[in-house]
Amino acid sequence: MKVTYLGHASFMLETATHHVLIDPFLTGNPKASIRADEVQADAILLTHAHSDHVGDTIAIAKRTGALVVAVYELAQWLAAQGVSTHPMHLGGAHDFPFGRVKFTLAFHGAGIETPAGLVYGGNPAGILFTAQGKTFYHSGDTALFGDMKLIGELNRIDVAALPIGDNFTMGPEDAVLAAEWVKAKMVIPMHYDTFPLISQDATAFVRQLAHKGIKGQVLAPGQSLSF
């Protein structure tokens, strides 16, 4: 599997047969490595309903025909916007032609911003994506929480993407503890430096991981890692 960091919390996962996009916030993202009208996708996985995660989902799904996988309430709202969706929810898993998706807990918010006001978008989530015998864990926007230990105990995670930006999510110190708990072979920091409010030193975070015996890698937007 190949994972490419697209900036903020957006990733492209490539298997031998499919392109799977996670949280495609590209338009309006100063760190985005690709434009929304350039990206290819067979499926789009969403962690939660905030605009910096749903991002360009509707435009990309309509252009490419990608299936959008999200928690039930968000999937229903997106279906009403004219895209093909598959609703799921926390703790549930499903085998798709492009891989296995399981939604995990995440502690955050999930409102959909509309001209009429904030709409309930269901629970925020993390995502375990498994294909070709490899598992990628995208924690979503989350605080540190104890059940991350269970996620690490119940799954063999090859690569985990964890937020380090602080303010809206856990910061570097909590993310180091999260990395210990999820027991991933490799940790990629995400959700930082997009805006001044979430500015962080990702290299320092990776050094903190190394002190705990955990492998980490900073991916600049557009850079990839194969595993």
Q: Is residue 179 part of a domain?
A: yes
pLDDT one-digit tens code per residue, 170-217? 999 999 999 999 999 999 999 999 999 999 999 999 999 999 999 999
Residue 224 lies in a domain: no
In three-state secondary structure terms, 21 is strand
Measured CA distances, 30 to 47, 190, 215, 218 (Å): 21, 14, 28, 18
Residue 226 resides in a domain? no
Strand 186-190 versus strand 159-163 pairing type: parallel
Task: Classify residue 121: in a domain, yes or no.
Answer: yes
Residue 20 to residues 11, 45, 101, 125, 194, Cα–Cα distance (Å): 8, 7, 11, 17, 22
Q: In total, how many domains does the chain have?
A: 1
Residue 94 maps to a domain: yes
Which structural domain, as residue segments, surrounds residue 159? Answer: 2-219
Tell me if 227 is assigned to some domain: no
In a domain? residue 45: yes
For 9-40, the pLDDT digits (tens) are 999 999 999 999 999 999 999 999 999 999 99
Q: Is residue 196 part of a domain?
A: yes
pLDDT in tens, 83-142: 999 999 999 999 999 999 999 999 999 999 999 899 999 999 999 999 999 999 999 999
